[in-house]
Structure 1
């Protein structure tokens, strides 16, 4: 007769029963020299009874084994994983001996095993003992274990999120500690050695798609997104409003068609009529990151390519050849560009409109900086028309990396904290409330959004711009 709580899924019941049988066979084999078989099986049954009615089942066989070994005075108790099926259900990976007696994870790149949030919670709860199973024998509960360290390489705009103490605490409550290193999204997809990481978290779906192709991974998570925006200053916004580029309103917009007309004509700032606030002999250009390495520049290129291609997504060699001269001019005239989006945005925050009058950023960066009190009254957020939505996409490379993707997607507290960092998580009301509290005018619903070109087309365009640098 099953001792599992009624209502538990049949597959969970089957896994536990299989694990219990295998655990019992192992105990009988280990203890047979000193303890009769019927005494072992009787002790197993009695210990299993203690967990009747408990809703979380994954680690019941482990606790039963510990109780039985203690009661039957096994001098060297060992903790056995219940069974391969149960192990995989709990998201654990098999190990094999490594150098110096250590063990390393053995992970299939083709079939990353997801670790459910419930299973992660079980790990934390098991070490809490009676908090999970009131009345369980405390001696049978393992000593608290250190959180599992999970390493990731992420777009630089997400580093602050992972370093937030509140995020760290939520992750620790779920048994994991995340260590991240920043890199440009295209760098992550092309040059970063991903073998040393558990997950890759670039800032766009094209970069993630490239990683998935290279690593033969089908799993991905998109826990949050952010549209491309253009940050400027009030005097510059006034100048470009007069020039017809910026359209003021409840949410200011940046007319990409009019902007490309100015750049094509080689108009400089001091050519603008009545310009007494920024009369410099420099081209009117939006500062970006390096398109060869960074996603935000690639997204900006996607917008410009759409407008330059008569408001049509670029497809095919002819269209690519048509737009490449326009795109190259937007980047080559900038001079030095950073590898990741934090560089130009930090310059915007620190240096004023002199060096960076217009900066391509993620909306999340501006909203997040407003929450830190770094946005001054003369700073203005505008939205290019059209714009693109940059879907921050996590690709798990190991089972523990999959854990992070699931947590970021499903944990309500992490989603709330992501909104506080300026990201859109699918809950428009939550994001709008954050922006309103920080007095940042944002569109509640994104309407004028275009798709990025297909993966291969975008790569061709980026390679074409990169070739122009040389």
Structure 2
């Protein structure tokens, strides 16, 4: 009989037999990723940029915008604040850039930064509008204060709307089961630019010429004040209250930005024909400025103006894009039409001529009793 044979297997060989095949797969995949450039993503350096934002912070809080900026090597840290509070922040200089909503805050920021690095960028605009519900818009048509302008939009005559308040009219006077007076709900004009714009809207009912002196500004503010006070306690951002299913119980007419309405409609499976917009015959377009204080802020501003993905996303979020020379892009109307929405009458009527920044500031102080 043959004696049993014993085979000695080198453990290193066994290890190689087990390890080499997966290693080959890993190396092959790594080569592909390196060639395509994807593998460097997690190791790419990311610059964190700190910024103060008013109402347009929703753009930078959008997940797609975050991903686009991250792919470009930037992460924007959002600190929300009202436009007027933004302009008065004691630590303003500690941020890379700010993004207030309107010209008053823009001018205040630039004044505070006099002699320092200040570069403004204007990537888009959005009109300030009054959002309401179909039956209330039709009640205003019956009252002679509004006319229909397409399927979702109405023109609002501020002088006739003012008379409804003068006459203390209620919604029940025009066939609605609502005992409340006809008023507008807005954010606090002392803090939010949309609330401040309501002051400008009512001011047009007293004449087209903006005041040129402090005395004239204060006089006009005292005339406008009762119409803003009629809403009672001013709220915060009105859009979240307006768009919830029970929106009618929160705000029958709410001051919001057009882009908020357009973005809401684009999220729906079908057009919400119950929610409509009122455009005062003298419109106001909020043209926020991204005001940079640093090279990092400059880079974000340049991306906002040049990057095709960011500009496309701005339109998808309801903004009208602007070019370097202030020209309006044609992509807004084309895009929303492709989604079944009619183009709004932005800019079709006259525009609210707001007073100079320091005079409008004084008007807001009087109307809102700002402290």
Structure-2-length-normalised TM-score: 0.80
In structure 1, which of residues 440, 453, 470 is the aligned counterpart of residue 355 of structure 2? Answer: 453
Task: Find out whether 1:338 has 2:232 as its counterpart.
Answer: no
Whether the 8 Å contact between 1:370 and 1:440 is mirrored in structure 2 is: no
In structure 2, which of residues 314, 317, 334 is the aligned counterpart of residue 433 of structure 1? Answer: 334
1:54-111, Cα deviation, whole Å (9 max, x unpaired): xxxxxxxxxxxxxxxxxxxxxxxxxxxxxxxxxxxxxxxxxxxxxxxxxxxxxxxxxx
Aligned-pair distance for 1:370?
A: 1.0
Q: Secondary structure at the match of 2:84?
A: helix
Flag the 1:219–1:391 CA change in 2: closer, same or farther, 3 A: same
Match of 1:391 in 2: 287
What is the distance in 1 between the residues matched to 2:229 and 2:187? Answer: 12
* Structure 1: runs of 5+ lacking an equivalent: 1-127, 133-140
Aligned-pair distance for 1:428?
A: 4.1
Aligned-pair distance for 1:445?
A: 4.8
1:390-431, Cα deviation, whole Å (9 max, x unpaired): 111111122211211111122222111111111111344211
What is the distance in 1 between the residues matched to 2:274 and 2:49? Answer: 41
Aligned-pair distance for 1:319?
A: 2.6
TM alignment of 1:63-462, pairs within 5 A = 144-156=43-55, 158-191=56-89, 193-216=91-114, 217=116, 218-250=118-150, 251-270=153-172, 272=173, 275-280=174-179, 282-308=180-206, 310-339=207-236, 343-350=237-244, 351-373=246-268, 376-426=272-322, 427-436=328-337, 437-443=339-345, 445-462=347-364
1:23-50, Cα deviation, whole Å (9 max, x unpaired): xxxxxxxxxxxxxxxxxxxxxxxxxxxx
Structure-1-length-normalised TM-score: 0.64
1:237-286, Cα deviation, whole Å (9 max, x unpaired): 1111000111112241111111112223333333x2xx332331x32111
What is the distance in 1 between the residues matched to 2:84 and 2:121? Answer: 18
Aligned-pair distance for 1:162?
A: 1.4
Flag the 1:398–1:165 CA change in 2: closer, same or farther, 3 A: same
What is the distance in 2 between the residues matched to 1:444 and 1:298? Answer: 19
Higher relative contact order (CA 8 A, sep 6+): 2
What is the distance in 2 between the residues matched to 1:404 and 1:160? Answer: 16
Q: Secondary structure at the match of 1:401?
A: helix
Most deviating of 432-441 and 384-393: 432-441
What is the distance in 2 between the residues matched to 1:283 and 1:315? Answer: 33
Whether the 8 Å contact between 1:287 and 1:334 is mirrored in structure 2 is: yes
Whether the 8 Å contact between 2:122 and 2:287 is mirrored in structure 1 is: yes
